[in-house]
Amino acid sequence: MTRKKIKQMPEFERPREKLLSSGPAVLSNVELVAILLGSGIQGKDVFSVARDILRIAQDGIEALNVETLMRIDGVGAARACTITAAVEFSRRFIMPVGIEVHNAREAILLVPELRGKKQENFITITLDGAHNVIRKRTVFIGTLNRSIVHPREIFADALTDRAASIVFIHNHPSGNTEPSASDIVLTRRLLRSAQILGIEVLDHIIVGKEDYFSFQSNNLLKI
Please state which CATH number belongs to domain 104-214: 3.40.140.10
pLDDT in tens, the chain (223 residues): 445 567 677 777 788 898 898 888 888 889 999 999 988 888 888 999 999 999 988 776 777 889 999 999 999 999 999 999 988 777 666 655 678 999 999 999 998 888 878 888 899 999 999 999 998 888 888 765 544 677 888 899 899 889 999 999 999 999 899 999 999 999 999 999 999 999 999 999 999 988 999 999 999 998 7
* Domain segments of the chain as ranges: 6-94, 104-214
DSSP structural state of residue 176: -
Report residue 160: phi and psi, to 5°: -60, -40
Task: Please report, in angstroms and rounded to a whole number, the separation of the first and last CA atoms in the chain.
Answer: 59
Sign of the torsion angle spanned by Cα atoms 22, 28, 33, 39: negative
